[in-house]
Amino acid sequence: MQGYIYPNEFELQWGLLIVLYPYVTGLVAGAFILASLERVFNVKEVQPTYRLALLTALAFLLVAPLPLLGHLGHPERSYEIFLTPNRQSAMAMFGFVYAWYLAVVLLLEVWFEWRRDMVLWAQQSTGVRHWVYTALTLGATDLSERSLRFDDKAGRWITIIGIPSAFLLHGYVGFIFGSVKANPWWSSVLMPVVFLFSAIVSGIALVLILYIITSLIRSRPVDMPCVDKLATFLFYAMIVDVSLEALDFIHRLYESEESIEILAQMVESRLFISLIVLQLVLGTLVPLVLLGFFSPALRTSGRSRGADELRRLVYLVVAILVEIGIFSIRWNVVVGGQLFSKSLRGLTVYKVELLGQEGLAITLALLALPLFILWGLVKLIPPWSEARPSDAAAH
Amino acid sequence: MADERHAAAADAGTPEGPPLDRRQFVQFALAACGTASPVLVALTRLPAAAAQEAAADSTAESYDPTGHLYGMGIDISRCIGCGRCVAACKAENDVPMDAHHFNTWVERYTITADGEVTVESPNGGMDGFPEPEHNSELRRTFFVPKLCNHCANPPCVQVCPVGATFTTRDGVVLVDEKYCIGCRYCIQACPYGVRWFHPTKRVAAKCTLCYHRLVKGKVPACVEVCPTGARIFGEVEARATPLARFMRFNDVQVLKPHLNTRPKVYYASLDGEVR
């Protein structure tokens, strides 16, 4: 503790789990927006990651509400958000935004995308697998050309609805923080937009990591045009993200409101590692320089620098650094917003505990859980092109 | 609230308790129906109904919340920093006795001749204050009691996702502890740091202006014990009340007016350094 804080501010109310929540929803929104690129904007190069991105979004979305539930003082009362939502409350909308995104967007899109394959798997397998796939088709086993065309059209429309929905999902999370006028570190109209672009950055980086690693595990060649394209998207998304953050930063400095002194103190002391070192240098500058140096699309000659293996490794390192950087952004927003007193006269400290309801152990478990779910989903409905059943076997 | 009423009604029906009167019987019947039907439960728990229910406390049945609008005046020049208000509040409202949970606390401002400001509130000011430590000459020192401002435009009520925190008809901001889910968004939304998280009940907690005393015609505990009359409790809108007189004869200010929360705790002799 340093200076004066209101006595009730000694304990931080929102800890690691609430850092995790915007991080995970951001990954969902980002992965989905990446998938939409292929579907709606017809970016052919990233096609190999389309289905993987969808499953990634689904796996992380299933986990997204868990940190919130774990953090509630009375999780057994959480259903009240659905029964008697306070319509003035931004947070009350969580249940509805989440349900819309999960049920209407992601599950439907996955179902239409995999319906043909699931019907064929059901036909080609026996026993438990047969029944599981039959159940997953929901009885819609028509594989006529007309019906497959409908699948494709429906998937396309859902994606078109899905893009603004993904924006809504994560923009909304930003609004939860940005609309708190009591907190000068949070209160900013840019917050939802910054959240959104950092979400896109983290989603692209995550799919990039998962694609490279799963290719290695499956001993398949990494599709270099695909990862080059992903790296280019990552670069551009980061440029927008950094510009927005810089705008927010400059705006604050220039306006220089009464809170500026304590916020500057906080950044220089409490947030030095997480904001300056992790978010800015390691999570942003280093990746931007590496991408700018290695990405072929960003060079006037159009030729790639370095062998494929080197580039692949650089992309992997860059994506991991970016993920650390985005997690730091979430930390800096959520924890940073509670480290200074609303009296603007002092700073408090946050000590992460190892065990306990909001401890490091639970956080790591919740971070690993979507990867396990993704593993299960990949086993159940493989996203790989070579795993798709051929029509010939069906007839 | 429905549960609470149910419990109160159930108590009234036990052999040891007084016999049921007609109103209690109707309350009991309603609560019983509510337990049987989830729809009725949801309806009786609507935030708007909660305010009425709070007023329908069985211990103060004659109380009519519509005739009141409460606020508090604080005369900074009278506060001597004895901390009795803090102790009284903790005892009256079952606030944990540690140094990090307060419905009300007292801050001491020490301003030196060269303009350096020090603010302290050791143990919320409950045990009084030690001699100020300063190296240069003092310009002035003063004490500032803090409590929930019972804002007319309360951000905490706005953000509560389930409507567990609400404004009563008589202008008091309360938390329904049987309904709060413990998300702590209200604590984040309060610009004054007056809300806290109850460590055992695991719900948001705050100053109630001693609502349980108000409905019986008593003043809040902090007001009652103040030896210098630095806290003036009363009606904001009525004319011939101590608070109305205090507001007429003093230049009163509220905390953080730029946030448009419209507090109903009014300070006289408020220094610009107080936030």
- What are the tens digits of pLDDT across the range B22-41? 666 666 665 555 555 544 44
B173 touches chain A (CB under 8 A): no
B39, B45, B181, B271: which to substitute to probe chain A, counting the most A Cβ within 10 Å? B181
Tokens of A79: 């259903």
In a domain, A136, yes or no: yes
| pTM recorded for the entire structure | 0.88
Residues in B closer than 8 angstroms to A336, CB to CB, are none
Q: Is the dihedral of CA A267, A269, A274, A279 positive or negative?
A: positive
In a domain, A246, yes or no: yes
User: What pLDDT digit, counting tens, does each position of A183-219 carry?
Assistant: 999 999 999 999 999 999 999 999 999 999 999 999 9
Q: Which of A78, A94, A345 sits opposite B119 (nearest CB)?
A: A345
In a domain, A184, yes or no: yes
Residues in B closer than 8 angstroms to A90, CB to CB, are 159
Domain extent, residue A333, equals: 2-383
A5, A6, A83: which to substitute to probe chain B, counting the most B Cβ within 10 Å? A6
- B99/A7 touch (CB, cutoff 8 Å), yes or no: yes
Per cent of chain A over pLDDT 90 is 84
* Contact between A99 and A47 (Cβ < 8 Å): no
User: What pLDDT digit, counting tens, does each position of A365-374 carry?
Assistant: 999 999 999 9
Q: How many whole angstroms separate alpha carbon A315 and alpha carbon A319?
A: 6
Q: How many whole angstroms separate alpha carbon A86 and alpha carbon B164?
A: 9
- B181/A13 touch (CB, cutoff 8 Å), yes or no: no
Q: Nearest chain A Cα to B165, which residue?
A: A86
- A73/B163 touch (CB, cutoff 8 Å), yes or no: no
Q: Which pLDDT band holds residue A146 (cuts at 50, 70, 90)?
A: very high
ipTM for the whole predicted complex goes beyond 0.90? yes
**For residue B185, is pLDDT > 80?**
yes
- B155/A180 touch (CB, cutoff 8 Å), yes or no: yes
The more confidently predicted of residues B49 and B72 is: B72
Q: Which pLDDT band holds residue A390 (cuts at 50, 70, 90)?
A: confident
**According to DSSP H, which parts of chain B are helical?**
2-13, 22-36, 38-44, 47-55, 84-93, 155-159, 185-189, 211-214, 221-225, 242-249
Distance from CA of B260 to the nearest CA of A (A): 10
User: What pLDDT digit, counting tens, does each position of A108-132 carry?
Assistant: 999 999 999 999 999 999 999 999 9
pLDDT at position B50, please? 45
Q: How many whole angstroms separate alpha carbon A381 and alpha carbon B133?
A: 70
Tell me what the mean pLDDT of segment B238-267 comes to: 95
Q: Which of A4, A85, A94 sits opposite B119 (nearest CB)?
A: A4
Angle between helices A308-334 and A191-217 (to 10 degrees): 140
Distance from CA of A142 to the nearest CA of B (A): 42
- Beta strand pairing status for B70-75 and B231-235? antiparallel
Residues in A closer than 8 angstroms to B195, CB to CB, are 8
Closest CA to A65 of A31, A96, A32: A96
Q: How many whole angstroms separate alpha carbon B192 and alpha carbon B188?
A: 10
- A8/B180 touch (CB, cutoff 8 Å), yes or no: no
CATH fold for the domain made of B66-275 = Alpha-Beta Plaits (3.30.70)
Q: Nearest chain B Cα to A175, which residue?
A: B159
The number of distinct structural domains making up chain A is 1
pLDDT at position B136, please? 80
- A182/B191 touch (CB, cutoff 8 Å), yes or no: yes
In a domain, A395, yes or no: no
pLDDT at position A169, please? 86
Rg for chain B, CA atoms, rounded:
20
Rg for chain A, CA atoms, rounded:
22
Q: How many whole angstroms separate alpha carbon A368 and alpha carbon B50?
A: 42
pLDDT at position A37, please? 84
In a domain, A389, yes or no: no
In a domain, A212, yes or no: yes
User: What pLDDT digit, counting tens, does each position of A341-355 carry?
Assistant: 999 999 999 999 998
Q: Which of A71, A81, A344 sits opposite B275 (nearest CB)?
A: A344
Q: Which of B158, B184, B193 sits opposite A9 (nearest CB)?
A: B193
Q: Which of A83, A182, A338 sits opposite B189 (nearest CB)?
A: A182
Per cent of chain A over pLDDT 70 is 97
* Contact between B111 and B141 (Cβ < 8 Å): yes
Q: How many whole angstroms separate alpha carbon B47 and alpha carbon B54?
A: 11
- A13/B197 touch (CB, cutoff 8 Å), yes or no: yes
**For residue A302, is pLDDT > 70?**
no
Task: Tell me the count of A-B CB pairs closer than 8 A.
Answer: 135
User: What pLDDT digit, counting tens, does each position of B82-133 carry?
Assistant: 999 999 999 999 999 999 999 999 999 999 999 999 999 999 999 999 988 7
Q: What residues contact residue A364 under an 8 Å CB cut-off, 6+ apart?
A: none
The more confidently predicted of residues A393 and A220 is: A220
Q: How many whole angstroms separate alpha carbon A363 and alpha carbon A327?
A: 12
Q: Which pLDDT band holds residue A5 (cuts at 50, 70, 90)?
A: very high
Q: Which pLDDT band holds residue B11 (cuts at 50, 70, 90)?
A: very low
Q: Nearest chain A Cα to B160, which residue?
A: A89
B176 touches chain A (CB under 8 A): no
Lowest mean pLDDT among A126-130, B142-146, B186-190, B229-233: A126-130
Q: Which of residues 62-101 of B touch A (CB under 8 A)?
A: 99-101
Give the residue carrying structure tokens 């003035």.
Answer: A88
Distance from CA of B22 to the nearest CA of A (A): 30
**Average pLDDT of chain A, as a whole number:** 93
pLDDT at position B42, please? 46
Q: Nearest chain B Cα to A73, which residue?
A: B182
Residues in A closer than 8 angstroms to B203, CB to CB, are 73-74
**For residue B18, is pLDDT > 80?**
no
Q: Which of A6, A10, A84 sits opposite B162 (nearest CB)?
A: A84
Closest CA to A206 of A65, A63, A55: A55
Q: Which of A91, A180, A182 sits opposite B183 (nearest CB)?
A: A91
Q: How many whole angstroms separate alpha carbon A253 and alpha carbon A304?
A: 40
- A182/B195 touch (CB, cutoff 8 Å), yes or no: no
Q: Which of A5, A89, A182 sits opposite B259 (nearest CB)?
A: A182
Q: Nearest chain B Cα to A9, which residue?
A: B193
Tell me what the mean pLDDT of segment B210-231 comes to: 97
Residues in B closer than 8 angstroms to A181, CB to CB, are 155, 191, 259
Per cent of chain B over pLDDT 90 is 71
pLDDT at position B275, please? 92
**Sheet holding B70-75: strands in order across?**
B231-235, B70-75, B265-268, B252-253
